Structure 1
């Protein structure tokens, strides 16, 4: 399944081979890599091209749907990535990363909200999970604005830091998401709620 998603300010599209140089640039930054679990630092030459080359097989197998984030009306230059990764039946994990020039503008929240809809409406998710390292509270605000609720703390490996880091874990269930959508649409609450 190849999908393109549109939000108010973003287009979420599949990565293309020519995106590798831009990805290599922002992912290679310490301030980006250190806030992720899977990005090594230093980022090896050619790693972005190799990563992009694996996306189609991951989509085809249903294991991960990774999107290139580009600003609408801009030059189609990648400014980040967002993904839904299959964990087990009905459970997916959302991840996102933005180039530092685009932090603090609500773009990660827009991307995450688009992935939530995709997960529940198209991928049959019953629950979406995510998390952020404890020293990255901005990512926690993204998750809260997207409807996720805190669900505990874990020790998670950071490839860039080469160490385990405290990670605040978050969960969004289909039931919670549907109730919030009905409330936002002015729908009647369920009987007994």
Structure 2
């Protein structure tokens, strides 16, 4: 419950709704003109924001009949099958190169998700206190290995409902992923939505692949 409330408070305080921008100076420098829209939230102390999310925890506990098991962080390729639904949101690999370093951009989220061991995982040589490199994360960022890892994972969970969030223009392309879904599922849907990231110049298309075996 404590970590859930902390996570939600962090979400509300994100600068430009992004976790990975090095713009803390915009928050702290009172002489800088600010254009972001959550300044009031930024000025609100963490304890206040965390308490505001307690009703969500109470409601979730009342409505949950079965116990909830939270899996520890690790290599998703080793996750056993037999789930009702598997939601995948892998890093996007550019068509011309490997993806950007996940632990550099999202080390704060990874640290929170493994809070008890966060201190031991920090790379002391990193200027931003990023986490130590992990082989399985590096593999998922490699264009050479990404396609095989993704397709193997989808195949492993073909008896579940599989939902994959992806980005048009990334590697592998939409057609390749859709064809792989059709090989593994009887019913396949591909949903598309235009969106733009904060501070991004152009629009992008988010893809949602849904595979179901009746």
Normalized against structure 2, the TM-score is what?
A: 0.33
Q: Greater strand percent: which structure? A: 1
Structure of higher CA gyration radius? 2
Normalized against structure 1, the TM-score is what?
A: 0.36
